[in-house]
Structure 1
Amino acid sequence: MEAKHEPFGPHMTLHRRQVLGAALIAGAGLIAPTTLASPVLRNSPSPPPLPARPARPDMPPALQSALAALDRNSSRIVHRDRIALADYSQHSKEMRFMLVDVAGGRIEKSYLVSHGRGSDPANSGFARQFSNRPGSNASSRGSFLTGETYVGKHGRSRRLHGLDAENDKAFARAIVIHGADYVDGEMARRHGRIGRSLGCFAFERGEIADVLERLGPGRLLFAAA
């Protein structure tokens, strides 16, 4: 279940993703392209952080936060032309995980994504609370660095490294990107929500390969709420 290559023109119906894209077009120049010589997890020199930019009042808050996180972590994020934004203020039936082309000013694709059981004990479809605590089974907010691909019990998956105090236990908690049967477009249509994870970013089985390819190592994944 996806939305492919969404340019934002005057003939489209105004909705959340259009507003997000329009703001990106206006603000894409805020992030200057830079290339690092080697991955952030190695002990190698890195360029100085990009200077802070003022927030634009016309940007949606989730996008403001994501671009600010990209700016703040500029010396740690290897690839900054594309970022991922998980907007946990939206219901789980919505395609609330967006791959954002920063330079091009558009949302490349959108996907269904799970949140953790601990974030939604009532199984309402909304993430109500967040935690960095091991055993909480909750989602965490903040900035994540995408890591290596590995094959585990959910098949091909991607490790994540939390960059903020509110998610810095992500690697130890095994919070990763993976596919799951409980994330399904038909389930969202029939039951009005998708299933919950143990805190991971879980995607539809038919989409996980695409997510892993587009969101490779060394990129920013920002979880907003």
Structure 2
Amino acid sequence: MIYRILPLILLFLMSFAPKATNTTKTETDPKLLASNNAVTLSAKIEMIYSSLDANNFSLPQLTCFQKALQGFYALKEKGLIEKDIITVIDFSLSSTKKRLWVIDLVSNKVLYNSVVSHGMKSGGEFANSFSNEMNSNKSSLGFYTTGETYQGKHGLSLKLDGQERGINCNARARAVVVHGAGYANPSILRTQGYLGRSQGCPAIPEGLKNEIIQTIKGKSCLFIYHPSRAYDITTKLVSQS
């Protein structure tokens, strides 16, 4: 456990480091300040990642986690996030893999790790095409905040609000929500070789839907990742690759 705790202790001590009294070019140049802030945030995120308690699950890829935390902090600063819980979905992975993580950033612990469906028009085993358009039946990348729950055709479901204009801002209008579905149950992998697909919703196994939805509802952050150059160019919440 000590190797998980030490990075957090170091990060805490760094926050109390004395500030230089002399003003230097680095302290006054906006470009250098921005660069230094980015380096500091990157170091903070790597420390958090290195100290994550996997809870006997796998961990998301570091690149995916870095982007997720960048956006989380940006949304937190805007007052759009109220819970220190983040849901990370990595659509660069096969739908046969557990590519959804729910992480408690207070305890620094992975709470859930599950398979998750992508949109039927986004691809078969792998998701490779994304859209913000109505009736596209595709998944949308980027950052969302979780909204309210409701009872729909899939039972307990969770509304999502896309926070990136042109990328996922039509999520609520498209009824892109978190819900459970039979086609998202891992057992389907044995019959067709890949997870069933949705109309654009991140659908999860029915056996986990109640626990996950109750955990992440009410202004937590959900991030759907893919190493898409188009996303990197368009997003305002994370730095470009």
- State the TM-score, normalizing by the size of structure 2: 0.69
Matched, 1:79 2:83: yes
The amino acid across from 1:68 in the alignment is Q
Q: What value does the CA root-mean-square deviation take over the aligned residues? A: 2.7
Answer whether contact 2:180 2:203 (CA < 8 A) is retained: yes
Q: Where does structure 1 lack aligned partners over 5 or more consecutive residues?
A: 1-7, 11-21, 33-50
Answer whether contact 1:25 1:105 (CA < 8 A) is retained: no
For the pair shown, the structure with the greater C-alpha radius of gyration is: 2
Distance in 2, matches of 1:106 and 1:26, equals 15
Q: Which one has a larger percent helix, Structure 1 or Structure 2?
A: 2
Q: Indicate which of 41, 44, 56 corresponds to 1:54.
A: 41
- Shift of the alpha carbon at 1:204? 1.1
The amino acid across from 1:169 in the alignment is N
The amino acid across from 1:94 in the alignment is K
Q: How does 1:1-225 map to 2 (within 5 A)?
A: 26=7, 53-56=40-43, 60-74=62-76, 75-80=79-84, 82-120=85-123, 123=124, 125-165=125-165, 166-225=167-226
Distance in 1, matches of 2:216 and 2:105, equals 13
Distance in 2, matches of 1:177 and 1:171, equals 11
Partner of 1:4: none
- Shift of the alpha carbon at 1:104? 2.4
Distance in 2, matches of 1:163 and 1:110, equals 24
Q: Where does structure 2 lack aligned partners over 5 or more consecutive residues?
A: 16-36, 50-61, 227-241
Query: Matched residues, percent identical?
Result: 32
- State the TM-score, normalizing by the size of structure 1: 0.74
Distance 1:153 1:78, change over 3 A: same
**How many residues are paired up?**
183
SS at 2:147's partner residue? strand
**Larger RCO: 1 or 2 (CA < 8 Å, sep 6+):** 1
